Amino acid sequence: MYGGIESGLKRVLHDLQERTQGIAGFVVFTRDGFPVVSTVEFGDMFRGDFHDVGEGEFFAAIGAGILSLARRTLEQMGMLPLDKLLVESPKGNVIVEQVSEDVGIMAISYPDVPVGLVRMAVDSARRKIKEYIRSEGELV
């Protein structure tokens, strides 16, 4: 979809995923819910009737929705800016973070992974994405 930027980001995210065992995947998405790049794949962790949509599209839409709702909530409470959002579940964890005005990132991890490790991986991914934005121009 985004040529060199997409393949470069995918390499970065796969490397972080390999170094941080227990991360099911990352998705970088636009504010409108379109995937930029995704390493998430449907599998045993994700059950449901998703055969009409690809992994990237599904998780990008989820991530954008989470960020949008969190921003509106914090705005109403006078608590902006949003740093990151953590959702913990007995079946896994989700961390969503805004990278820029138009780009967000979401990491999904298995339940037994320390949340601090996932947060560090997301922070590292966010920094790398910002480097790509600075060097290559906007992703969207």
104 Cβ contact list (under 8 Å, min separation 6) = 28, 29, 30, 31, 63, 64, 67, 96, 97, 98
* pLDDT the model gives residue 1: 42
Q: In this predicted model, what pLDDT tens digit does every residue of 99-136 receive, in sequence order?
A: 998 999 999 999 999 999 999 999 999 998 998 878 87
Could you tell me which residue, 70 or 51, shows the higher pLDDT?
Answer: 70
Residue 7 pLDDT greater than 90, yes or no: no
Could you tell me which residue, 54 or 71, shows the higher pLDDT?
Answer: 71
Q: Which domain holds residue 93?
A: 4-46+53-136
Q: How many C-beta neighbours within 10 Å does residue 87 have?
A: 13
* Number of compact structural domains in the chain: 1
* pLDDT the model gives residue 42: 64
CATH number of the CATH domain containing 123: 3.30.450.30
134 Cβ contact list (under 8 Å, min separation 6) = none
What CA–CA distances, in Å, run from 17 to 24, 26, 39, 45, 88?
8, 8, 9, 16, 19
* pLDDT the model gives residue 105: 96
Q: How confident is the model at residue 46 (pLDDT cuts 50, 70, 90)?
A: low
Query: How large a percentage of the chain has pLDDT more than 90?
Result: 61
Q: How confident is the model at residue 93 (pLDDT cuts 50, 70, 90)?
A: very high
Across all residues in the chain, what is the average pLDDT?
86
